[in-house]
Amino acid sequence: MDSVIDKNGNSIHVLSLLNTAFGPGMLALPHAFSNMGLLPGILMVFIGAYNMYFSLRLFTDLLVLIKPSDYSTLGEIIGGKFVS
């Protein structure tokens, strides 16, 4: 008997991750746009996207530079004992 994971490969995991990452935010966007207006809402989406890109880029550059054994070690290096 084949399991769902064997039949679908990683697609089920990717869809679950996308649902978790984008689901609640996408549902809240119409309310945010109605409070803010169309142009400021679009501007805020682009500012948020740039900030996310910048932070993920910084994170991956540090991963390559420091080569920590795990994420908790990287967290300690970046934020000290307060973060981890």
Please answer whether residues 73 and 64 qualify as being in contact, where contact means their C-beta atoms are separated by less than 8 angstroms. no
Q: What was the pLDDT predicted at 64?
A: 86
Per-residue confidence of the chain (84 residues) as pLDDT tens digits? 445 555 556 777 777 777 777 777 788 889 999 999 999 999 999 999 999 899 888 888 888 888 888 878 887 887 877 775
Amino acid at the residue 61? D
- Domains of the chain, residue spans: 1-36, 37-84
Q: What is the 8-class DSSP label of residue 80?
A: G
pTM of full prediction above 0.95 = no
CA angle 62, 70, 23 (to 5 degrees): 80
- Crossing angle for the helix pair 38-66 and 71-79, to the nearest 10 degrees: 100
Please answer whether residues 62 and 74 qualify as being in contact, where contact means their C-beta atoms are separated by less than 8 angstroms. yes
Q: What was the pLDDT predicted at 39?
A: 96
